[in-house]
Amino acid sequence: MSWQKSIEELRRRERLAEKMGGEEPVSRQRGRGKLTVRERVAFLADPGSFHEIGKIAGNATYGADDELEHFTPSNSVMGRAQLNGKSTVILADDFTVRGGAADASIWQKMVQAIKMAAEYRLPLVQMIDGTGGGGSVKMLEKDPRTYIPETPGWNEITHGLTQVPFVSLALGPCAGMGAGRVAASHFSVMVKELSQVFVAGPPVAIALGEDVTKEEMGGWKIQGQNGTVDNVVNSEAEAFETARRFLSYLPASVHELPEREQPNDTPDRREESLISIVPTDGKTPYKPRKIVEATVDKGSFFEIGHDWGRGIVCGFARLDGYPVGILAGDPFFLDGAWTADVCDKVARHMDLCSQFHLPVVHFVDCPGFAVGVKAETAGVTRAGVRAMTAIYQADVPVCSVVIRKAYGLAGSAMMNQSRTKWRYCWPSGDWGSLPMAGGIEAAFRKELAEAEDPDALKAQLYKKFDAIRSPFRTAESFYAEEIIDPRDTRPLLVDFIHHAWRTLEPGERRIGFRP
């Protein structure tokens, strides 16, 4: 007497689950250039490491003899796996079963995955490919009533975001709840031409009078440039690798510190190119990513949010093997001025680094908040104050390297300046409450108007104030702590990270009100 027959039935049901939505839907999925949910899990996870939970959950029908006649698996696949040797929870949508509609996913599986991630302190990776919500209006024929909307699991999502890294990969059309899950993450990725993210799809927009396609309404050119998603990639394989790399910089949960990797670079490396990378005219832009890459461990810079808030470069990197957050002003975009979207990007990145205990290196080049009607219409004042507050609420060490401009309120937000100023200034530094250019004409308007030779007086005034704004004069009063040879930047940052690491403490983050 044994349970062999039951085990055989279990294996039969598992084989049925592996068929997903059936031959035709699977063929359509592949015909769209998309992997199936089980192929995605296999590509994302370390080989042979995925342990599925709830595989035989789904919709079953039974005949008169109570034998299973038909089985459609849930369109939600979940379980535990290893990613780069680290335990992770995976939650993946199956578009071949009713287009990934939420009412076919068995919502308890999603909630179970999120609870497991938070309670057992494991990162969560979601592969989202679904129409969300309650599916088609046709479902009302089967269950002829409507309901007051409720979103099971949102409390668990809200809590989980405070505990462990959430990564969302948009791998198809993501609407309603699917779109919400993409946005409710610490890091999100879209695949060009393959995925779209929107509150509701084109049929709803058309009914409201806007005739658009999925790509026109929620494609990567929109969502990658407005910050709804962080990164845009060219293929599903690249999305999987991007997720793995993002997680490599973070601890499994806020209750741990990030791990140091074996250094692959010399700590005292001095890059000769840094002595001339910033043009001496004070106006011509330079490429900040070259400065970042020259000072962090070789090959370690991982950019986040390339396509939005382009006045600031954000990402992760390593210094002598230790993970750090990176901010760098980009003078190619409005001279690096902080627009509303730049401010949102700064606040989001500082929150991310602070929550997961990554010290921050800020390469400063900021002429202030963006000025003008367009900037004010976009809400730069409120966004700017929120960004400044996020920086002052951060509880991780920040090292600022002032590359060039630092003006006004935004220029002051290079760090929490009420704390120890671990700061280095390049000789190209240019700072103050407002830029000299234009300020001299405004301050000496009367004198210039009355002068016999206004141009000569203006040249004389510019020469005088150019001398006054020398960074050496600032250093004389200890308003600039150290002016350094740019080539010494990497050795000094390596020194910073060793000291910063001594101050880090794991645990949940508690912040106050943010205006």
Kindly tell me the burial class for residue 394, based on how many C-beta atoms sit within 10 Å of its own C-beta (0-12, 13-18, 19 or more): buried
The answer to whether 312 and 292 are in contact (CB under 8 A) is: no
Q: How far is CA 309 from CA 134, 306, 313, 332, 345, in A?
A: 34, 8, 8, 12, 6
pLDDT tens digits, one per residue of 46-73: 999 999 999 999 999 998 888 888 889 9
- List all residues 6 or more positions away from 275 whose beta carbon is below 8 Å from its beta carbon: 485, 486, 487
Residue 507 pLDDT > 90: yes
Rounded Cα distance between 36 and 39, Å, is 5
Residue 147 pLDDT > 80: no
Report the pLDDT value the prediction gives residue 378, as an integer from 0 to 100.
95
Tell me which H or E stretch contains 438. helix 436-443
The answer to whether 352 and 247 are in contact (CB under 8 A) is: no
SS3 240: helix
Tell me the pLDDT band of 435, cut-offs 50, 70 and 90. low
| Rg of the chain on CA atoms, in Å | 27
pLDDT tens digits, one per residue of 414-423: 999 999 999 9
CATH class, domain 272-434+471-501, is alpha beta
- List all residues 6 or more positions away from 294 whose beta carbon is below 8 Å from its beta carbon: 271, 273, 274, 277, 489, 490
Residue 437 pLDDT > 70: no
Report the pLDDT value the prediction gives residue 499, as an integer from 0 to 100.
98
pLDDT tens digits, one per residue of 190-229: 999 999 999 988 888 888 888 888 998 999 999 999 999 9
Q: Which of 216, 206, 44 is nearest to 127 (CA)?
A: 44
Number of H helices and E strands in the chain, helices first, is: 21, 17
For the segment 65-84, the average pLDDT, to the nearest whole number, is 92
pLDDT tens digits, one per residue of 234-285: 999 999 999 999 999 999 999 999 999 999 999 999 999 999 999 999 899 9
- Location of each CATH 3.90.226.10 domain in the chain: 35-57+74-248, 272-434+471-501
Report the pLDDT value the prediction gives residue 246, as an integer from 0 to 100.
98
Fold classified for 35-57+74-248: 2-enoyl-CoA Hydratase; Chain A, domain 1 (3.90.226)
The answer to whether 270 and 488 are in contact (CB under 8 A) is: yes
